[in-house]
Structure 1
């Protein structure tokens, strides 16, 4: 999930080789040689315009996800544009979802069923909120890439994985370099899943801290180690972060956090 704009938010040389369609039954787009993309519009003309922009940004988004995660993930990608806040909340959080809970969320990656043991997921899709069409192109690409990482990592992510770490790594994949115009807010400490629950500044700051932590790990240990930390701390049968950090990075968690503090300058 990307809280709007917390991304500011459960193949090389690719190119689009088919014209966009507007329903899951129509011929899909192709990204590269292997990935088909279905664009499903429920948002009228704004939704159609948004999906046109999504289509244009899919190749670099796929490139970014594959560069970090690899190519072994679902070959069919469905993207939905919604037409109302209620519709978005229902698709994002299920029947009876609180619309206010999703008020600052631009998009979410969801699935109907996931079987991590068999590495399968049914009903996977990326769903955009009706206001997402107002995003800049740069912001849209960040959000799309963030959600596409969740999509790619879905079958390798435990249901009870620490959400803050899954979001931080997704944000790193979407924006590996800092935005010079953004200033740090909040303490330099690990967020909790509870920090990501409610809309507002606390959630925005938690996303930023999670992203900053992931960026630090990648900068100090390399992106391959960050990926391995994700699998160890967030994958099926995952261990606590305090155990995963020395296993993967070779340092204790307190030392890692002290290094993160120094890295901040």
Structure 2
């Protein structure tokens, strides 16, 4: 009897080799090595090389402290491959954790090495700011403003607005946050949509939005995400001084509260607190700041329940959206007026730390405020009528 052994199956090392290409590209970004950055691109792809050269020049303006790729999947077909990866980066002095952007990379193998032939947003992702043009950077006292296609003077004004918003939010939230904000200003509404990976029409009339990752339920108070406040240059430009202050204070409040905001937090609370922080101490007449809800009150049509999450959707009935925001604001104002500002902060943190939406709010009403959802809703309806019918 003779024996023998079959050849062991060859192990596919494509993922490891692609990761090596991406690691080299990341290292080149951090050491400002244009040649190294371009070396990851297919030598025959002239158009891609030209775009890569422009992107690299824009990247050098950004104060990066880290840049890396995490490969999450590779599908190979001969000498071609498609890879899914997470781009993770931090802005020095501003990001407590990395920004994560989904990327889909197409690659080709040449002489035993993998080269990038296309780099696109992954599922749910958007274009990156440095892919939209020359990045202008303005540093404020408490802010970092990154703009494309904007006059430096305008970016400095936005930085000044953000610098006023940060201490206002610190006073409202109680100081337990990083105390700085990153503001992104694209060239247009369409460019804003590309950054956010959504139709631009969804943001028409919206002056700014905040993006970041909420904490997992039950983990309120965990590490804060690297939030970005993205300004719609068209809508923001139409605002007066008060409007700009309210918008940036509202969005900065989302940054401050992010570590205590989870899937257990209803939108009436997160959006209401942000508006409460923005209007706190302003002396504004609620009949002017809550016009849509006031119209309902004047008609004798008081809301029967606190706003649901679905009421905060963009792209639908703008008046209904206004009533939702105004109702959330007055709910938070009621808590601050009747129970005190510290109880409002404790209520927010308690809800965000809960494990499930269904029990979170009811439990917080009981433990923090000594009331029930039903009793609070009745009190809120009465408060709305009193504040808006005068």
The TM-score bracket by the shorter chain reads 0.7 to 0.9
Cα displacement string for residues 94-113 of structure 1 (whole angstroms, at most 9, x for unaligned residues)? x3x12222223211111268
> Which deviates further from its counterpart, 220-229 or 197-206?
197-206
Which residue of structure 2 lines up, in the alignment, with residue 216 of structure 1?
334
Distance 1:50 1:190, change over 3 A: farther
Gaps of 5+ in 1: 1-22, 32-36
Whole-angstrom CA distance in 1 between matches of 2:346 and 2:220: 18
Cα contact 2:306–2:327 (8 A) shared by 1: yes
Which residue of structure 1 lines up, in the alignment, with residue 200 of structure 2?
99
Distance 1:50 1:71, change over 3 A: same
Which residue of structure 1 lines up, in the alignment, with residue 366 of structure 2?
246
Distance 1:185 1:42, change over 3 A: farther
Which of 99, 116, 136 is residue 240 of structure 2 equivalent to?
136
Which residue of structure 2 lines up, in the alignment, with residue 185 of structure 1?
295
Cα contact 2:347–2:365 (8 A) shared by 1: yes
Distance 1:247 1:50, change over 3 A: farther
Distance 1:141 1:164, change over 3 A: same
The CA deviation at 1:91 is 3.0
Q: What is the correspondence of 1:22-171 to structure 2 with a 5 Å cutoff?
A: 24-25=62-63, 28-31=139-142, 37-45=143-151, 48-92=152-196, 95=197, 97-111=198-212, 119-131=222-234, 132-171=236-275
TM-score, structure 1 length as denominator?
A: 0.78
Which residue of structure 2 lines up, in the alignment, with residue 226 of structure 1?
344
Whole-angstrom CA distance in 2 between matches of 1:165 and 1:202: 17
Cα contact 1:168–1:211 (8 A) shared by 2: yes
The CA deviation at 1:76 is 4.3
Off by >4 Å, runs of 4+ in structure 1: 112-118
Distance 1:233 1:178, change over 3 A: farther
The CA deviation at 1:75 is 4.6
Whole-angstrom CA distance in 1 between matches of 2:329 and 2:361: 16
Q: CA RMSD in A?
A: 2.5
Cα displacement string for residues 23-81 of structure 1 (whole angstroms, at most 9, x for unaligned residues)? 543573323xxxxx211111423xx4443222223343122211121223225421111
Whole-angstrom CA distance in 2 between matches of 1:195 and 1:141: 25
Whole-angstrom CA distance in 2 between matches of 1:117 and 1:209: 24
Distance 1:160 1:245, change over 3 A: closer
Distance 1:76 1:261, change over 3 A: closer
TM-score, structure 2 length as denominator?
A: 0.54
The CA deviation at 1:206 is 0.7
Which residue of structure 1 lines up, in the alignment, with residue 112 of structure 2?
none
The CA deviation at 1:159 is 3.7
Structure with the bigger RCO (C-alpha within 8 Å, sep 6+) is: 1
Whole-angstrom CA distance in 2 between matches of 1:24 and 1:76: 17
Gaps of 5+ in 2: 1-60, 64-136, 297-301
Bigger CA radius of gyration: 2
